Each structure stands twice: as C-alpha cells, then as structure tokens.
Amino acid sequence: MPRVPERHYQRRSMAAVVVYVAIVMLARAPAREATSLPLQMLYALLPVVPMIYVIWLLAQRIRASDELEQRTHLIGLGVATGVVAIISLIGGFLAAGKILSLQGAASFLLFIFPLLLLVYTATRAWVARRYGIDALCDDDGVPAYQKFLIGALLLAAVAVWVWLKGAGDFELGMLAGMAAVLAVAALLFGLRRWRRRNARRVEP
Amino acid sequence: MNNHLRALRAQRDWSQSDLAERLDVSRQTVNAIETGKYDPSLPLAFRIARLFRQPIESIFEPGKD
C-alpha cells in the first residue's frame, strides 16, 4: 500500500471528531423525544458512525505505515487495549455489585473509546521516542499545537452549549477544565515549535 | 547492529527524505536506522542493499551485543 501523508489522516480524523461532537449535541434531544423505538435507536446510535470512520482511518493509516511506524502503532494499540480491558472489567464488576448505578456505568462506557485513543497516543509517543521519533510532531502532519488548539476550541464550544442548556456545575467544570488543559498544551507545543524554528534559523 | 547508511547517503548527496522516498519509508525511520536506534527487517535491509548496489554485509555489520 503506498504511503499517504499523515496530514491526510489527521485532517479527516479531526473532521470526524467535529462531526461526532455536533451529532452528540444535536441528536440528544431527538433521541429522547422520538416516539418510535427504531427512530429513537437511530438518533441514539448516530454518533457511532463518525467513530467507525475514525477506526477505519486508523486501520488505513497503520496499513500504509512502514515497519517501524507499524511497530509503534501496534504497541500503542496493545497497551491501550490492555488498559481499557482492565478498566471495563472494573466498571463491570462495580455495576454487577450495584456499587455503580446503571446510569454511572453508561457514562463510564462513553469514556472507554476516548480513553483508548488517549492511551494509544501517549504510549505510541513514548515508544517512538525510544527510536528518536517525535510522534506528536510528524514531518508531514498537522502541527501538534494546532491539534490541541482545535480540541480546546471544540471542548470550549461544547462547554458553552452545555452552559446555555443549563447543565450542572460538574459537567460544565469538567468540560471547561479539559478545554483549558488542551489550550495550555497548545500554547506549550506552539512555543516549542517557535523555539525550534528560531534555533534552526540561528544554525549556520 | 552498526551500519554505513549515513555515509552511503552522503556519497550520493541525498537527504534523509530523498532516501526515505526511495525506500518507501518515513524520514524518521531512515533517521532511526542511521542512528542505530532501529535495526531494519531483512526485507528492508535487502531493499537498502539493492538501492546502493552493495551486499547487505557491507552496509550492516553486527554490533557488540
């Protein structure tokens, strides 16, 4: 399979995440208000579609990677699968023991996929560093600071939407906190990029 | 494993990106091989040898371990 620029996958993944957030926000009310069960299920499961697309993109990306990249991807996915499996098991036992309510278990399950992606990204970056690769700053990818900035803006938009809908302080605080963390990460990666560019300019 | 990839590349005046394109791998993979952080698979080592028209053993040699 011919190599495809990282930018190609990253732009599509980010677009899919934006679509996902939009669907989650827009399909929530119709899912509750729909009168027939099939329609209710359709609205409830609509956010899964962009996530299936993200998984398909990831598979395509791994297929088109070279052997070293595949190694880092597969170690990242292996560790992420292990972490998610253990956390799911803990959640399952807590729900079975009625320590966690069904509503709590459902919220728990919603965080499984983002957690998998987070652990996969972190592990891959850590493994890649051993080979002298900066996995967060691919040569031909979208710069890391831009990725964090988009994430921060997206979460901030959701936080505003949640605030307008009159949601609880916990939800609002969590979203605003995550947006702030991503904004700080964007700033730090932006500064690092700027310093590296300046250093390269100084070199003879 | 040690290798002479950097020297061979320099002889041809190729950048890491040029070599990566010829080998159909990423520039970072070329860098990892050159710096000895990653030992390529046998198929990739053969591709490198074929590209530089040299036997594998003249490009790669066993390291201390």
User: What value of ipTM does the predicted structure carry?
Assistant: 0.90
Query: What are the backbone angles phi and psi of residue B2, rounded to the nearest 5°?
Result: -100, 160
Q: pLDDT digit string (tens) for A31-59?
A: 888 888 899 999 889 989 999 999 999 99
How high is the mean pLDDT of chain A? 84
Q: Flag whether residue B14 sits within 8 Å of chain A, measured between CB atoms.
A: no
Which among B24, B25, B37 is the nearest to A132, CB-wise?
B37
Smallest CA-to-CA distance from B6 within B32, B34, B36, B33 is with B34
Q: Flag whether residue A130 sits within 8 Å of chain B, measured between CB atoms.
A: yes
Can you give the pLDDT at residue A133? 81
In the beta sheet, which residues pair with residue B3? Answer: B60
In the block, residue with structure tokens 């100084």? A202
- Per the rule left: phi > 0, alpha: psi between -120 and 50, beta: everything else, B24 is left
Q: In a mutagenesis test of the A interface, which of B29, B31, B33, B41 is the best target, namely the one with the most A β-carbons within 10 Å?
A: B29
Q: Flag whether residue B2 sits within 8 Å of chain A, measured between CB atoms.
A: no
Q: pLDDT digit string (tens) for A131-159?
A: 888 766 656 667 888 888 888 898 888 88
Chain B residues whose beta carbon lies within 8 Å of the beta carbon of residue A3: 24-26
Can you give the pLDDT at residue A139? 61
Can you give the pLDDT at residue A202? 67
Q: What is the mean pLDDT of residues A113-122?
A: 88
| pTM to 2 decimal places | 0.77
Interface contact B28-A67, CB threshold 8 A: no
Q: pLDDT digit string (tens) for B14-34?
A: 999 999 999 999 999 999 999
In the beta sheet, which residues pair with residue B60? Answer: B3
